[in-house]
Structure 1
Amino acid sequence: MGKGRVVANRYRLEEELGRGGMGVVWRAADLELGRQVTLKRSLDEDAGQIRREARIGAGLLHANVVTVFDTVVDGDARWLVTEYLAARSLEELVDDGGPLPEDRVRKIGAQLAAALAGMHARGIVHRDVKPGNVLVTADDVAKLTDLGIARWTEVTRTGGAQLTGTLGYVAPEVADGAEAGPASDVFSLGATLYAAIEGRSPWGSGEDGPFAQMRRAAGGRPVPAERAGPFAPVLAALMARHPADRPTAAEAVTLLTADAPAPRRSRRRLRRRLLTAAAVVAVAVLVTGFVLTRTDPPAPAPAVAAAAPNTLGADPAATDPCAAISTDALASFGEPFVDPEVLTFGTCAVTTTLADGTGQVQTRFALTGPLRYPTRPPVPGKMGEIERPEAKNGTCERAISLADANRVVVTSYPVTEAREAPVCAISEAVLSGVLPMLANGPLPRRTQPFPAWSLAHVDACGLLGTAAVSAAAGRTPPPDHEFGGWGCTWEADPRTITVDFDREWPLEADEDVPGERIRLGSRTAIVAPVPGGKPQCAVTIIHRSYTPVLPVLRGTPASREELAVVTLEDTGAAGGDALCAGARTLAATVAARLPS
């Protein structure tokens, strides 16, 4: 496939930008919108890899991260469509023009630190920050690229960084075999800026081989800086040997923009000093937006100021969806009843008994993370337009993307005989009551904490280890975190594994709930193929039965159950029944790791 070829009847390939062992990158013309874009394709036709990168990048909107637009299929190949940037990599700039001056390095570094702060606020780690993955425009706008997975690190504008290039910027703990975390990204940022001002990696040029670099990296012994001058203390802080001694990415923004750099100190002392400065508020507003590994329970929204309007605030998972619903807005339709004890932890259900006596309408108010495949890229820092899709099967949805890329979704549908109910008007009323609250700051926080035993405190992605995922999927794809950490997806074509948390009425004795009742350790679980759509089998694990503190909807059971639902999907399977054995094995691993 060469220059002039049109991909998916829309994108004309114009210039090959890079090719490595795993993929190829082209500049292309979008014939429909008349703009330049970048197209990326896996050379081994791993469509799942492309989809994962698209899902990672779709909602990670930041001025200093290359924007993902779409994925398209052309024949047997899937392409990733991203923003095209008329820029050169930082690696090229240094190779061609020599080391950069301190003020330019600071400017580039502050932008990269802001991008990393946004990623880390979402519980995401880039894992491969290095000069080859930084694009710099002529006016020094810097953007992190290579959103996806480690295998994509070979694809650069110059044709592919080798293993020594990656080793040149790796943190000591990663070189020593530990998993990369946010602090590792901060180290790699420091190593990247070291290279920009010194003209070489802190672990040496690599001329003596990758193993020598690896030994230096694992020992935390960088080559002393010679050109850094007054910038050396900043580099020393970012590249501290121990992760706990490094600043966070948000704190790094302040270090890089400060008139006088801070000396190296322990992370605890550094954080105390920075958090007393007014500059922290400005730093917090800067960050929006990215890849691969989650370390702490995630906060899907960027680290915005606590009172930032049109956002879910600094801790989106702490938002109380029920407190955001105005029952006054529903009073004109009938008698609303708010039930906070069903569905996911980020969802509230309101059942309205209609005033005309025709039945009831249930409205689900849900907080979610960014769309994986948005029809149009949201504008960072701005609310999107209200989305009003046509009602289908009596169900009406209204949604809006917030300024922090999280979303509010309102869905209404009849639950009894209310066939002619004004479901769209009800959805509009709920959303209209929420928007003024958002305009005045984040939505209300929860006043009642979840019980200590609740799955609300559990990271869904931590319930399946690498071995279990690899055994079921054939390889170990990176996990995709859902809002609040209350769901997780591993996608490895043709198989997809999901773990989701839910709350429901008691299931075990409910004859209307199909499936085989089994025991997984001390817990009951229900195994059943998922009807309709793609071949799937789900195992619903009953984590705990409890009695809600608040009253429940009249006519419903007095107790509720927290559930962990494990689903195995295989597009190549003959049916869901064929997947139930594998789903049971995965569910057994999850059940064993649930809190007692």
Structure 2
Amino acid sequence: MIDGRYQLEEVRGGGAGGMVWTAFDRKLKRTVALKRPHAMVSEADRIQFCREAETAAQVQHPNAISIFDTVEADGCWLVMEYLPAESLDRVLAECGPRPPEWVATVGAQIAAALAALHQRKIVHRDVKPGNVLVTEDGVAKLTDFGISVWREVTWTHDGNFSGTPAYAAPEVASGHPADEASDVFSLGATLFTALEGVPPFGAGEPGEVLERARRGEVESSARAGPLAPVLAEMLAAQPLRRPTADQVRQRLEAIAGADRIGPPPAGVVRPPWWRRRHVQVLAVLVLAATISATTLVPTLWKTEPAADLVGDEHTVAPCALVDPEALSTHFGVPARLHSALGNFNRCDVILGPPGADAATAIDIEVQLLRLKRHPVVGELYEDEGPPGDDECAQQVPVDERFGIQVAAKGSQPQDQLCVTAKVAADQVRGVLERGPIPRREQPLAPSSLAHIDACALLDNTALAVYPAIDATAGARGFGGWRCRWYSTADQVSVLLRYDQHSSTSPVEGDSIPFPGHEAHIDAESEACTVHVVHRPAGRPAGPTIELMVLTVEGPRPDAQYCPRAIGLAEAAAARLPR
């Protein structure tokens, strides 16, 4: 037990600088990573260690491992974010050299982290494959930044080089201090290694490699392809000729393309299709009664530039994308349109006779969705997660910003649901081929939640219960009708969304006291949801009511989920118009 709080679990790795352990934080109930140098050389080193850790802890970036704290017990420990991932050097050892597009995807993320560090005048000093972590979803994060006391890439007091020569810039190998330009060189050397399987200074004895590093004798890359120009500039012997980290990020993003999550390396488990951005289901093949599973064929969306088919998100009509009469004729059963189920970006068609129960009816959900603006998160849409077991979903691309999901839900066999979804998706494609999506026949009521940006309902003061969350970094869904905030520190998410609900049906959850509103709570072991009824004054009663729904969810049971969810819901509801 470290400092009476962190229970060490297992060694995750180590090097010249120290050992890294996973540990369980018994106070905040989360897994963290703890690192301790092999030895603290002096009191001055300890002070420098703490000072640089404090500086590095100020950097919060999705592609940099967060530093939480230092512990001055049993030596000196660094408390960091734990990320279940493999280091790039291990990926290369297991899978071999990677293709240029994959390398560009990983490199763009690490360059973004370096740019954030450099903006705060922090120099990493040790960019190398061992300090780049890559998850199964393709998320890349930089670790071990700013902690020069590790002395892994520096010169010691007696003039001996104690770092990794293969990734050191020529000026660092010659005895000069590391700076932003040398970080860019080391990133270039890391990307070179990912492409070729060997560092740019080649293999051999450390002394020989160090001498080649001093002279800047970089080998040429035979596999760089589109990366060759930017790689050559990053590995320039003269620091002033190298691009900045942010310029590298921009160029690598352009090479990686719109899909910034490249395919994971061979040998690493691929995420399911719904977690790959710009994935489209091309066909659902129902072959015979003996085949019980449909075949979904994923491919990258490759859309040509087109006119703005969506236009104003608040006036576009989701129900204009489907024709219930045509669906009724096709399937030979009645079809009823429901325009006020779920969020404002959704329209439903119920297939089945009036009064049909769930065993016979099929619900076709059509949703206008926003593609993720941060692909490193790895999911397709900001608005919608993976399909459930009782549904079959078809993805219809619109442009680089939006997509449409058509999902058939019910208790019928999966192949029947998939055929239904495909027919409805074909209708949607036909509407898109004719031009912009039609507008709503009746505009949304002036007092509707649809006119309120969900991301604006919570600020940093309200979200201070989760200090690692930045209120300005909320992921906005279609129309601003949904917003999700995520804490990289404890892996807790806060989701605020809107819902349209039948006024004759009970609201889900148990009724709770709530200032100024009717509210209900639904508590689970790893999540808590608060449903707040929105009934503005002067608005006549109708068949539907609107709900503001707030969910706090995490990776493990936590007694604080519900108290914090209620507090956040109260803060958000206080900003709603009365």
Same fold (TM over 0.5): no
TM-score (norm. length: structure 2)? 0.42
TM-score (norm. length: structure 1)? 0.40
